[in-house]
């Protein structure tokens, strides 16, 4: 099989390419140039491209570079800025997977005659006895990335490979060391590639949108203070609100960008019985109203049980079995089966 492997310059994608090579596939590595601005984090730096190229040389496979920077700006960076402008909390790495790694890259691979694309994600793809493809959790629970690849539909699932999903992270590094790969001890990328460590989110957004100050009020409307940039405040936040000391800890309950108001209260006031999820994509067919699912609302958060109360064309209303802390609008919400193993759907918290 002829496989195009997305090589980010990290150890996981390096070993993914090595595993496919070992299995006898015709492997070509590709690194996507996504962000052309300042970058000292994530997987978009010049050194990462160089690491990917050198690993490809070690594995004796061809290495390509695709420039998708315009697509990245249009589908990841601009929506990230727009989300903050509107007062929501986006997930740019998930949007990168959705639009670049499992859309734009797959399109290019098909045009070039590849039989499959592969990445180094810690997740697995399994075909059920019914013939339906599913994303399932990776073997390493601590590194599982099924949450961030939840958007794959049946067509993409049949075309995608996750060669390291059956390995733990320790096993991945061990195999990289055995092969003498230069990425064997390279630290994992944890940050958004276009947000630099030196400037941070505030500097990045400050160059692109005008910040507006906002009143900080309690639920009765009493003003407690102000924040300099309402666009940087997120639901559930506690730090950085500059509230007077001595009172119980206050958490952000709501952000109204238009009215330039941030509502705060005690943590218990974040509790919710329901969660509406928009832009829902089912990996196969929607579940029926009344079905029970497990719900994950952050990359490494624990799942919680919920019942499906409503199913719309692109939305789902969930009722928690036990009240849960409010999910910040804009965050990705992924539904799993009751074994907490198989991805059923995913969308964006309203």
DSSP, residue by residue, 280-307: EEESSSPPPTT-EEEEE-STTPPPEEEE
| Domain presence at residue 194 | no
pLDDT recorded at residue 309 = 98
301: containing domain: 270-349
Same domain assignment for residues 161 and 224: no
The count of domains in the chain is: 3
Q: Does 279 lie in the same domain as 165?
A: no
Helix (H, G, I), strand (E, B) or coil at 179: coil
In-domain check, residue 223: yes
Return the CATH number at 284.
2.40.30.10
Regions of the chain short of the pLDDT cut 50: none
pLDDT at residue 36, rounded to an integer? 76
Contact present, 101 and 6 (Cβ < 8 Å): yes
> What are the beta bridge partners of residue 265?
251
Q: What is the pTM of this model?
A: 0.93
- The answer on 25 and 168 residing in a single domain is yes
Catalytic residue flag (residue 96): yes
Alpha helices per DSSP H over the chain: 11-22, 46-59, 69-72, 78-86, 92-96, 105-111, 154-159, 169-178, 200-206
222, 312: one domain = no
The confidence score (pLDDT) of residue 243 equals 86
Residues 45 and 120 in one domain: yes
**CATH code of the domain containing 234:** 2.30.30.280
Q: Are 148 and 97 in contact (CB under 8 A)?
A: yes
Tell me, yes or no, whether 24 lies in a domain.
yes
Cα–Cα nearest to 339, from 183, 177, 187, 128: 128
- So what's the pLDDT on residue 39? 58
From 265, 296, 331, the end of a domain falls on: 265
pLDDT tens-place string over residues 285-313: 999 999 999 999 999 899 999 999 999 99
Q: Token pair for residue 227?
A: 């924040």
Is the residue at 310 inside a domain? yes
Does the residue 205 lie in any domain? no
- Do residues 23 and 154 both lie within one domain? yes
Q: Is residue 255 domain-shared with residue 338, that is, in the same domain?
A: no
pLDDT of residue 45: 66
Specify if 56 maps to a domain: yes
* Residue 347 structure tokens: 């969308």
Please report which helix (H) or strand (E) contains residue 133, including its range: strand 133-137
Does any domain span residue 202? no
* Catalytic residue, candidates 43, 44, 93, 96: 96
Q: Does one domain contain both 17 and 164?
A: yes
Query: 235, 265, 295 — which closes off a domain?
Result: 265
pLDDT at position 191: 74
Quick one: pLDDT at residue 2?
Answer: 98
Question: In this structure, are 124 and 65 located in the same domain?
Answer: yes
172 and 154 within one domain: yes
Q: Answer with the one of 265, 281, 308 that is the final residue of a domain.
A: 265
Residue 14 sits in the same domain as residue 125: yes
CATH number at residue 144: 3.40.50.620
10 and 103 inside one domain: yes
Domain contains 277:
yes
């Amino acid at each position: 099989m002829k496989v195009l492997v997305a090589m980010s310059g990290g150890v996981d994608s390096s070993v993914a390419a090595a595993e496919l090579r070992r299995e006898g596939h015709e492997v070509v590595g590709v690194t996507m140039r996504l962000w052309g601005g300042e970058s000292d984090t994530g997987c978009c730096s010049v050194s990462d491209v160089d690491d990917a190229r050198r690993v490809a040389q070690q594995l004796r496979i061809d290495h390509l570079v695709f420039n998708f920077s315009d697509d990245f700006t249009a589908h990841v960076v601009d929506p990230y800025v727009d989300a903050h402008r509107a007062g929501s909390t986006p997930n740019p790495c998930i949007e990168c997977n959705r639009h670049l790694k499992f859309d734009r890259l797959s399109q290019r691979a098909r045009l070039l005659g590849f039989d499959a694309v592969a990445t180094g994600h810690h997740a697995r793809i399994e075909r059920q006895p019914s013939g339906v493809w599913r994303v399932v959790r990776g073997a390493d629970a601590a590194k599982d990335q099924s949450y961030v690849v939840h958007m794959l539909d049946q067509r993409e699932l049949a075309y995608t490979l996750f060669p390291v999903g059956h390995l733990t992270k320790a096993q991945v590094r061990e195999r990289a060391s055995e092969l003498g790969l230069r990425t064997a001890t390279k630290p994992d990328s944890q940050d958004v590639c276009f947000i630099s460590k030196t400037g941070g989110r505030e500097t990045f957004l400050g160059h692109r949108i005008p910040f507006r100050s906002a009143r900080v009020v309690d639920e009765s409307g009493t003003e407690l203070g102000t924040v300099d940039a309402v666009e940087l405040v997120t639901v559930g936040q506690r730090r950085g609100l500059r509230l007077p000391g001595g009172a119980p800890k206050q958490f952000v309950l709501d952000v109204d960008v238009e009215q330039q108001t941030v509502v705060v209260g005690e943590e218990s006031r974040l509790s919710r019985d329901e969660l509406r999820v928009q832009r829902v994509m089912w990996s196969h067919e929607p579940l029926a109203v009344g079905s029970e699912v497990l719900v994950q609302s952050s990359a490494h958060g624990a799942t919680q049980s919920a019942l499906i109360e409503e199913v719309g064309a692109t939305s789902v209303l969930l009722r928690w079995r036990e009240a849960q802390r409010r999910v910040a609008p804009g965050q990705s919400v992924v539904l799993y089966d009751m074994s907490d193993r198989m991805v059923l759907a995913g969308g964006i918290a309203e």
